[in-house]
Structure 1
Amino acid sequence: MHPRQRLDFGSPFRRSPLKSTDGTRLIIWPVVNIEEWEIERPMPRQASPPPGGAAGAVPDMPNWTWHEYGMRVGFWRLFEAFEKRKIRPTISINAKVCDTCPEVPTAARDAGWEFMAHCYVQMPIHRVDDEAAMIRQSTERLSQFLGRNASGWLGPGRTQTFETLDHVAAAGIRWFGDWILDDQPVWVKTKHRSLVSIPYTVEINDITVMVSGQHESDALLKRAKDAFARLYAESEQSVRIMAFGVHPYVSGAAHRIRYFEEMLDFFGQHQGVSFWTGDQIYEWFLTQSCPPGGRF
């Protein structure tokens, strides 16, 4: 099914305004990406360019250990920053992390963080042999770990095939963050029932800014402030959502963590700004809009 067959065209500048009952006008959706990089595969990303002739070499020890730093050190810096400010983020997590590095998801679970399914290991969905089976494996492993079902889905690198959302809906997911096409939630049709697309981000994201762009350590903070200013102004008429995505091996680095903390503090200084999880956004959106055909 083509994406344009799954949702109606619309714009937050033209559709009926979205409101909240608690005075929230700009919702901040914080997402921490917790990934499993299998050393038997080429690494999903590279901080260290390979020596000549070694592109795609396995094992890629330099970049695997870069990611491992995030699990051992960077995550705990992010964890402390959120806990100090009493912010409950969403973690988009590869389910295999529950087995390979359980200390990290255990700390998040015990702190009340929200879990969003993020494939089983970090690899493009297009390279998965059985997409439906992988999605079931991911959601079932998280359910075992949490003692309840995860409600949201984010594909690795936000990758999808034309069938992904049908498989996601069949697995019991209610909302997803792959489509970065709006500043408000929208309903999306599948073969089974309607899902909610919650606006995620590719540009208020430390991979784009720090890894792809190789900008200075404070660049994500500066870009976030600029985006916030415009969305906050627009949210006076209709609620907007501003997501940000961070990774422990990037924003949790010693030379970046202070700017991440400053970003959280900047958001929190403004009236009418709330940090919400994906489920909170989903439940609020249900009070604002009905799914196409009334099907959940």
Structure 2
Amino acid sequence: MFFVVNIEEWDIERPMPRQVLPAPTNAPVLPDLANWAWHEYGMRVGFWRILKMCEAEGIRPTLSINANVCNSYPTVAGAARDAGWEFMGHGFRQIPTHQITDQREMIRDTVETIARFTGERPVGWLGPGLTQTLETTDLLAENGIRYCADYVIDDVPTAIRTAHGPIWSMPYSVELNDIPMMMVQHHRADELRDRTLAQLDRLLAEASEEGCKVMGLAVHPYISGVPHRIGVLEATLRAIASRPGAVFAQGREILEWWEKV
């Protein structure tokens, strides 16, 4: 199980990356206080619920992090670092890759900022909103990134050729993900548990015949860290842990294991 917690920096001076409350008369406004505060709740409260839950369950997830969170929310980033979470690059700020003027500089700044903060260079990447240009994967490999979760193409790591050697596609999910599930499709929180366990049981059955499978589950503190959803996430993680053959592993650990088999 590749369990990913996404931590992002939303700039109040820019249009919000996500919206839960449409603007009055549907006319976008800046600052978009309501939606910025929705995200801010996740940083101030939701993240800490998820951290406490992970500690209680003995889970060290992969942290998909905008690198500037290390500067703007050092307490949050520091708590994840100290808990042994893997840091996976998620851009420098929560801005689509296509809107970045100098993508090479952004990737380099992301890698170097995380390395300074954690003492270890990240080997994984998830683009903000899974965004890439045709140059992104080459630039990631150029900066030492060894796996990328943007390509939701298989249930096992898959090699992708680049100008700097292969980079591995790490199984992620746009369906086992609380943004599309809760904010786009407007499902109840129980859908997270039901959909996740249905996928897990099928992959475990296939793995018994075909070999190891990797399942991604992605959450965000401002969505899954709220009081009316955190209990469902807790129950889901406990159910996963109870399944024979299911193991929680960070992206780095999955890649290291996969390259040996």
| One-letter code aligned to 2:237 | L
Match of 1:224 in 2: 196
- Show the 5 A alignment for 1:226-241: 226-237=198-209, 238-241=211-214
Match of 2:2 in 1: 29
CA separation in 2, counterparts of 1:122 and 1:135?
13
Match of 1:266 in 2: 239
| One-letter code aligned to 1:221 | R
| One-letter code aligned to 1:79 | L
Deviation at 1:69, TM superposition (A): 0.2
Match of 1:123 in 2: 95
Of 46, 50, 73 in structure 1, the residue corresponding to residue 45 of structure 2 is: 73
Deviation at 1:78, TM superposition (A): 0.6
| One-letter code aligned to 1:70 | G
Match of 1:7 in 2: none
Match of 1:211 in 2: 183
Q: Secondary structure at the match of 1:249?
A: helix
Q: Secondary structure at the match of 2:224?
A: coil
Match of 2:260 in 1: 287
**Higher RCO, Cα 8 Å, sep 6+:** 1
Higher CA-based Rg? 1
Unpaired segments of 5 or more residues in structure 2?
Answer: none
How well do the aligned residues superpose, as a CA RMSD in angstroms?
A: 0.8
Matched, 1:189 2:161: yes
Match of 2:36 in 1: 64
Residue by residue, what CA displacement relative to the aligned partner does 1:125-153 show, whole Å, maximum 9, x if unpaired? 00111111100011111111011211111
Moved over 4 A (4+): none
CA separation in 2, counterparts of 1:273 and 1:214?
28
| One-letter code aligned to 2:49 | R
Of 57, 68, 72 in structure 2, the residue corresponding to residue 100 of structure 1 is: 72
Of 27, 39, 59 in structure 2, the residue corresponding to residue 54 of structure 1 is: 27
| One-letter code aligned to 2:260 | T
CA separation in 2, counterparts of 1:225 and 1:169?
34
Give me the identity figure in percent: 48
CA separation in 2, counterparts of 1:77 and 1:213?
24
Of 198, 212, 218 in structure 1, the residue corresponding to residue 170 of structure 2 is: 198
CA separation in 2, counterparts of 1:192 and 1:241?
25
Of 27, 35, 38 in structure 1, the residue corresponding to residue 11 of structure 2 is: 38
CA separation in 2, counterparts of 1:231 and 1:159?
27
Matched, 1:162 2:134: yes
| One-letter code aligned to 1:35 | E
| One-letter code aligned to 2:47 | F
Match of 2:144 in 1: 172
Q: Secondary structure at the match of 1:273?
A: coil
Match of 1:294 in 2: none
Q: Secondary structure at the match of 1:92?
A: strand
Q: Secondary structure at the match of 2:70?
A: helix
Unpaired segments of 5 or more residues in structure 1?
Answer: 1-27, 289-296
Deviation at 1:54, TM superposition (A): 2.2
CA separation in 2, counterparts of 1:218 and 1:72?
24
Residue by residue, what CA displacement relative to the aligned partner does 1:167-217 show, whole Å, maximum 9, x if unpaired? 101111111111001000011111111111111100000001001111112
CA separation in 1, counterparts of 2:259 and 2:183?
36
Task: Name the structure with the higher helix share.
Answer: 2
